[in-house]
C-alpha cells in the first residue's frame, strides 16, 4: 500500500522540540526564549505528548526543573539526549509518511543548514538518535540522499504538495536536479500526487530561501491560508500582491478554486542591529484539535487568530507570544515538528 505525507491536522502522538542551549545562537537571549518553550510545553502537554531533544544530560535535568516549576506533567514528556547545533525542529526533524492502514515510515532527508549557510552536521544526525531512543520499533527508517526541510513543504488531505520555487529549486539544495526530478523524488518519497509551486513572496530576515510555512499554509477542505501586506510602502507589498494573485489562480486537481483565507500583516519589527525580523502569522502550529498561533504584541494579533479560526473551525485557536523567537529569524512552526499517531515507542 502506498505511503503519503500526512497533512498536519492528522492525529498526532507528539510534538518535537529541540531545546535551545548555551552553545547555540540563542545564548544571549536564553532567558527570554526558554519561557516561550515552557509556555509551549504547557499548552501542548494538555493535548498530547512532547518529544524534547536535549543537547546533554545536564540540559535535560535543567529542562526538567523548568517544567516541574511550571507544573507540567512529566509523564507527557519524552526526552532524547543528542548533541545539536540549533533548535529548528521543523527543518531537521523526521518527516513521516503513512499508508491507509496507519503504518508509518520515517524519511530522514538531508539537512544542510538551509543551503550550507550554517553548521548542521549534528542536527543532520538527530533523526537517527530519535529513531534509536524514542521511535516505535515497527517504523521503517529511510535515509534519503535529498536535501529537504519540513518548513519547505505543505501537503493537504488530497495529496497536493505546496512549496516555493525559491527554496526547493535553489541550487544550494539539490543543484543537479531539475524541477521535474524534484517533483519525481517528492512523489516517490512523500506520495505527492500534484504540485503547486509558489513563485512569489518572501520575508525580510528569513534565511530559509522562502520556506512555504512562513507564507502559505494548507487547511482542510481545499483551503489555503496566506500572508498579505496592505502597506504600499512596505518592501514586501508587490511580491505578496503577486503571490496573492497566483494563489487565486490555483485550482485543485478536480478543477475547482481553492478557498483562500488572508492573514493580516504585523507591523515591522527590528532587532538591535536594525535588521528586520520575519514576523508572520502563517507560522502557526497544528496540534490535535488545537492550533497555536504566533503573536507579536501587534494590533493585528486578534485578527490573525480570528482568520485562522475560520480556516480550522473544528480546532481551538490559542495565541503564543513568539516575539523572542523571531529574534533568531524564525517562529512557532519553525521550532516544532509533529509526530503522527503511532510514532512513539509504546510504554
CB 328 within 8 A of CB 25: yes
Which among 291, 287, 292 has a CA at the least distance from the CA of 340? 287
Cell of 9: 491536522
pLDDT digits (tens, 9 = 90+) for 252-305: 999 999 999 999 999 999 999 999 999 999 999 999 999 999 999 999 999 999
Cell of 278: 520575519
Ordered structural domains, the chain, with CATH: 4-340 (3.75.10.10)
Q: Hey, is 280 helix, strand or coil?
A: coil
Which among 294, 295, 291, 284 has a CA at the least distance from the CA of 317? 291
Residue 342 to residue 14: CA distance in whole angstroms: 10
Spatial strand order of the sheet with 194-198 comes to: 154-155, 160-164, 194-198
Residue 288 to residue 229: CA distance in whole angstroms: 30
Confidence of residue 1 (pLDDT cuts 50, 70, 90): low
Burial 146-182 (b: 16+ CB within 10 A, else e): bbbbbbbbbbbeebbbbbbebbbbbeebbeebeeeeb
Question: Which residues fall within 8 angstroms of residue 38, CB to CB, at 6 or more apart?
Answer: 66, 67, 70, 72
In this prediction, residues 87-106 reach a mean pLDDT of 97
pLDDT digits (tens, 9 = 90+) for 41-74: 999 999 999 999 999 999 999 999 999 999 999 9
pLDDT digits (tens, 9 = 90+) for 155-214: 999 999 999 999 999 999 999 999 999 999 999 999 999 999 999 999 999 999 999 999
Amino acid at each position: 500500500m502506498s505511503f503519503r505525507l500526512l497533512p498536519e491536522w492528522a492525529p498526532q502522538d507528539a510534538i518535537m522540540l529541540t531545546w535551545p542551549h548555551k552553545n547555540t545562537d540563542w545564548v544571549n537571549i536564553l532567558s527570554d526564549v526558554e519561557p516561550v518553550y515552557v509556555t509551549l510545553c504547557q499548552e501542548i502537554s494538555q493535548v498530547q505528548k512532547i518529544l524534547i531533544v536535549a543537547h546533554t544530560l545536564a540540559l535535560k535535568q535543567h529542562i526538567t526543573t523548568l517544567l516541574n516549576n511550571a507544573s507540567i506533567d512529566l509523564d507527557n514528556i519524552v526526552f532524547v539526549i543528542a548533541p545539536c547545533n540549533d533548535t529548528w525542529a521543523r527543518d531537521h526533524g523526521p518527516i513521516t509518511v503513512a499508508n491507509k492502514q496507519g503504518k508509518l515510515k520515517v524519511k530522514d532527508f538531508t539537512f544542510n543548514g538551509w543551503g550550507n549557510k550554517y553548521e548542521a552536521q549534528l542536527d543532520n544526525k538527530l533523526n537517527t538518535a530519535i529513531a534509536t531512543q524514542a521511535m516505535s520499533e515497527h517504523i521503517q527508517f529511510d535515509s534519503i540522499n535529498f536535501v529537504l526541510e519540513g518548513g519547505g513543504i505543505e501537503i493537504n488531505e488530497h495529496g497536493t504538495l505546496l512549496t516555493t520555487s525559491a527554496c526547493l529549486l535553489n541550487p544550494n539544495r539539490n543543484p543537479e536536479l531539475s524541477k521535474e526530478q524534484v517533483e519525481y523524488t517528492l512523489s516517490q518519497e512523500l506520495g505527492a500526487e500534484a504540485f503547486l509551486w509558489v513563485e512569489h513572496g518572501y520575508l525580510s530576515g528569513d534565511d530559509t530561501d522562502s520556506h512555504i510555512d512562513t507564507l502559505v499554509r494548507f487547511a482542510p477542505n481545499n483551503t489555503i491560508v496566506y500572508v498579505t501586506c496592505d502597506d504600499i510602502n512596505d518592501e514586501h507589498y508587490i511580491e505578496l500582491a503577486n503571490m496573492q494573485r497566483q494563489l487565486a489562480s490555483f485550482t485543485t486537481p478536480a478543477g475547482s478554486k481553492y478557498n483562500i483565507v488572508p492573514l493580516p500583516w504585523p507591523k515591522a519589527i527590528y532587532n538591535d542591529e536594525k535588521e528586520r525580523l520575519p514576523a508572520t502569522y502563517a507560522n502557526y502550529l497544528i496540534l490535535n484539535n488545537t492550533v497555536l498561533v504566533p503573536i507579536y504584541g501587534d494590533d493585528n494579533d486578534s485578527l490573525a487568530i480570528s482568520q485562522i479560526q475560520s480556516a480550522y473551525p473544528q480546532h481551538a485557536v490559542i495565541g503564543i507570544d513568539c516575539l523572542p523567537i523571531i529574534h533568531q529569524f524564525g517562529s512557532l512552526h519553525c521550532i516544532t515538528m509533529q509526530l503522527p499517531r503511532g510514532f512513539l515507542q509504546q510504554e
